[in-house]
């Protein structure tokens, strides 16, 4: 029985989020510049996207560039942006062929204008696809997203379009960048780091966390299968007792 056969397709996570980490270390181990690690990470992006779509996962969200990543050396940022645009340009046809919609969350206005334009074009070009939504978190941080949400809501209160008493969790979530997506049930982080790094803090309240020592450029379909099998072996209690769940 292969790892893939062990997956119960009836109990797939609808939404998987991944913190892709370890590109720099992967490159360093090979005596190469960090940008070589990022380039090599593209294959892992392709493999995870393919594997998730083939299984029937509805949403895959990848942490591609954090707000904090703007602090990296300029040449690395430029290389990452270039790689991003090149990759999505190259993959548009494959995304369309496979009925995958591209989406982006984060402070997209901060992206260089050519990247922003290119991204919007591909988001537009794939908008009609409905097999899976691939979301790239770009210039994203969860605290930024939460504060932006608060600002939007505060403005509505100020303009008397919203009563503070009517504000609840559901409404709050509907103003986040992830408004139309279910919360991720499974969050994967590669590279052996046990951190969330400001990613989807609101949305992962009940997500199962899966950490693997694999560096991102080594992450393959089998690794995604392994994470899903692990997830399916867990008991998700949502605050209830084990006995209550079985009843």
**Which residues sit at the interface with ligand FPP, rule CB under 6 A?**
20-25, 34, 38, 41-42, 45, 62, 64, 69, 80, 83-84, 87, 136, 191
Nearer residue to ligand FPP within complex by CB, 32 or 234: 32
Question: Judged by CB, which is closer to ligand FPP: 13, or 24?
Answer: 24
Nearest CB to ligand FPP, comparing residues 13 and 217:
217
Catalytic residue among 69, 110, 129, 198: 69
Q: Residue of minimal CB distance from ligand FPP? A: 24
Q: Residue 141 CB, nearest distance to ligand FPP (Å)? A: 13
Q: Is 21 a catalytic residue?
A: yes
Shortest gap between Cβ of 184 and ligand FPP (angstroms)?
Answer: 17
Could you say which of 5, 21, 99, 114 is catalytic?
21
What 3-state class would DSSP assign to 132? strand
Measured from the CB atom, is 35 or 203 closer to ligand FPP? 35
The total number of residues shown for the chain amounts to: 247
Say how far apart CA 24 and CA 35 lie, in whole Å: 7
Active site residues: 21, 69
């Amino acid at each position: 029985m292969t790892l893939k056969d062990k997956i119960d397709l009836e109990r797939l996570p609808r939404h998987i989020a991944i913190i892709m980490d370890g590109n720099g270390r992967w490159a360093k181990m090979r005596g190469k510049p960090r940008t070589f690690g990022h380039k090599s990470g593209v294959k892992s992006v392709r493999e995870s996207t393919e594997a998730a779509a083939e299984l029937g996962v509805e949403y895959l969200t990848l942490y591609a560039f954090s707000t904090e990543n703007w602090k990296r050396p300029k040449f690395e940022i430029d290389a990452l942006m270039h790689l991003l645009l090149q990759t999505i340009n190259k993959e548009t046809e494959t995304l369309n062929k496979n009925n995958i919609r591209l989406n982006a969350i984060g402070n997209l206005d901060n992206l260089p204008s050519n990247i922003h334009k290119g991204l919007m074009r591909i988001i537009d070009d794939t908008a009609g696809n409905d097999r899976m939504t691939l979301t790239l978190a770009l210039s994203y941080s969860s605290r930024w997203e939460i504060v932006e949400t608060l600002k939007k809501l505060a403005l509505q209160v100020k303009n008397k379009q919203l009563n503070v008493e009517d504000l609840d969790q559901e409404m709050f979530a509907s103003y986040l960048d992830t408004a139309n997506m279910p919360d991720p049930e499974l969050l994967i982080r590669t590279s052996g780091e046990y951190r969330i790094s400001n990613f989807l803090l609101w949305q992962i309240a009940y997500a199962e966390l899966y950490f693997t020592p694999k560096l991102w450029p080594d992450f393959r379909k089998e690794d995604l299968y392994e994470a899903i099998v692990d997830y399916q072996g867990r008991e998700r209690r949502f605050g209830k007792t084990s006995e209550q769940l079985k009843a």
